Structure 1
Amino acid sequence: MNTENREWSIQELARISGTTSRTLRHYHELGLVLPARLGANGMRYYDDAALAALLNVLALRSLGLSLERIKTIRAGEADLVNALESRVRELGELQAQVQRQKRSVQLTIDQLTKGQTAMNADNFDGFDNSVYQEEVEARWGKDAYASSQRQWNALSKEQRNAHQQEHVDIALEYQRLAEAGIEPDAESAQAVAARHVAWLAVFTKPAQPYVVGLAEMYVADPRFAANYHGRAEYVRDALTVYADRELPR
């Protein structure tokens, strides 16, 4: 390596900066960290200027700024101080949300220690659906997530609480039926599945592939399975029967 004009391959720069080659390629695509040159085989090579740009991006990322915001700052389209002040406001909002989540979790603990199994919408106060944004977009596309968020944001607090409470009630009814030995294709179980699909319809127009895929995810993903009191497979089976019988493909 020439000490007067240092240069690193993409793998070397990834190693010394503690990031990955994939990240560096992504930063290149966004125009944030540009290689000094491309080798004959397309290999990216980076110099001191690229290293400085990378360190700047990583520093701003550590403060919680998005890549899109960093891009506007580096392009001179946004002021760094204003961006950081905006980030402070966001962190304040996040702190308030975390406090609400803590109260909700403590409420649930208090209920469980007192032998109360029923939950209500207050147990979910402060929880944010946006944490699933990347997964929803990966499975069903950005339009699906954006549309569902618009519909959710259009609801009043009372409507949101009612919607969350409906899901709590649906999950408890699935549990009751499963523990009673009612088959998933029984009329009573299918009535609950119909309620479940109607609950989903607040955000999307459920079709058979969507509902079946979601039902499988309830079992495969423990974060979703936890909502169904150990009966995620029963929920999946009931929803699958309903979707196959009642929904368009």
Structure 2
Amino acid sequence: MRYSISQVATISGVSARTLRHYDEIGLLAPQEVSANGYRWYGRSQLRVLQRILLLRDLDVPLPQIKAILAGEDDEAAALRRHLRLVTAERDRLDAIAGTIRRTLDDLEGRRSLPDGEFFRGLQERRAQLAATLRKKFGTALPAHDPWPSGWTRDDYHEAESEARDLYSQLSRARRADLDPTSSAALDIVAAHYEAVRATWPASPEAYHALADLIESDPAQRVVVGGDDPDLPAWLAAGVRAYAVRRLGHRP
């Protein structure tokens, strides 16, 4: 038996638009396409779609799912990597939840909270990221702590608000299918570069190296990805292109 794209959308809960996107990126091709352009799916395509949806429920990115389906990536190994990412996100949220609980204790009069305690979870994240940067990229990065010391509560709030706005802008560009290496995209990536330089005097080499961290480090994928899990790969490509084309880096 074969199914039209609308029938597959109905029985799977996946929109026809998403199914067409899966076809366009080579993730799930229909069994056949008729002369009038209609897509038709068979039972084998339904099994593949089921596997895709199971992996998506685990928040595995589409490029990784494609590699798994193509046999280029071992599914167990891919899920182990994804488990590390999810675990890192859990730890990040646990740290933030602890900070929120301590803040509530302060607001509701149960315990007076020193100013430094407001930022304990954030400071732990900074320390972990600094260690990851130096371990992974070594001499490509400055020796000093690349984050400002002595920030106040308002400084942190302002920086996080600006970061959210920036990642939203980058996500809109990605969702609009803007090539991350295009001139228009690099104009947007320039804002990311300036934001990095505001707290870390990144050399062209270091900024280029940062792309690998954005793409591969679980904690950074969570920070950058937010509601757009495909943004880290897009931004990493833009960062590399910006370092080469706008900063003169030679890989």
Structure with bigger RCO (C-alpha 8 Å, 6+ apart)? 2
